[in-house]
Amino acid sequence: MDKETELRLGIKSMLSQYDHYFTRAPHTRYWLVVVDNHFEDCYSFFIYMQRFKAKLIKSYEIACFKRDKGQYEHFLSSLKQHSNLSIEYRDTNHLILPDTEVQQDLIHGHSNLKTFCENQKKPVTNSPASFDMDL
């Protein structure tokens, strides 16, 4: 398959995924996220959604392809023509480190982390490898 056909099919697939997930549900906020992923050497496009007054944010990958600036520009321009959603750009070269260690986060399942660490008599860290478990 030649590059032009591959590009056209990739864009068609992305727009199909976009239409599938952008359901225009009432009381729901939608936005797009484009990630320049240096770890996996690819570009990824996501659609995010959040219901009004909900804490949970859902994301769905609508496209992923090798890092090629020309292909990226074609995908992005096609998406901008097809959608009026706001676009957030992220780059894995500029990751943000957390300010403090997670002590308790009921939303993401860290509610018992502090209790577990106190029982183990170990300091709380973000690294799962730092927990010594006696088997």
The pLDDT profile of the chain, 135 residues, written as one tens digit per residue, is 898 999 999 999 999 999 999 999 999 999 999 999 998 999 999 999 999 999 999 999 999 999 999 999 999 999 999 999 999 999 988 766 655 665 666 666 555 555 545 555 555 444 444 444 444
In a domain, 85, yes or no: yes
- Length of the chain in terms of residues written: 135
Q: Answer whether 71's CB lies under 8 Å from 77's CB.
A: no
Question: 86 and 27 in one domain?
Answer: yes
Specify the amino acid at residue 112: N
Say how many domains are in the chain. 2
Question: 80 and 23 in one domain?
Answer: yes
Give the pLDDT score at 32.
97
In a domain, 134, yes or no: no
In a domain, 50, yes or no: yes
In a domain, 135, yes or no: no
In a domain, 121, yes or no: yes
For residue 89, the Cα-to-chain-centroid distance in whole angstroms is 11
Range of the domain at 116: 97-126
Question: 115 and 80 in one domain?
Answer: no
Query: What's phi and psi for 86, nearest 5 deg?
Result: -70, 150
H helices present in the chain, as ranges: 3-21, 69-82, 113-120
Question: 76 and 12 in one domain?
Answer: yes
> Model pTM greater than 0.75?
no
Query: What is the CA angle 93-49-92, rounded to 5?
Result: 5
Question: 115 and 54 in one domain?
Answer: no
Question: 41 and 12 in one domain?
Answer: yes
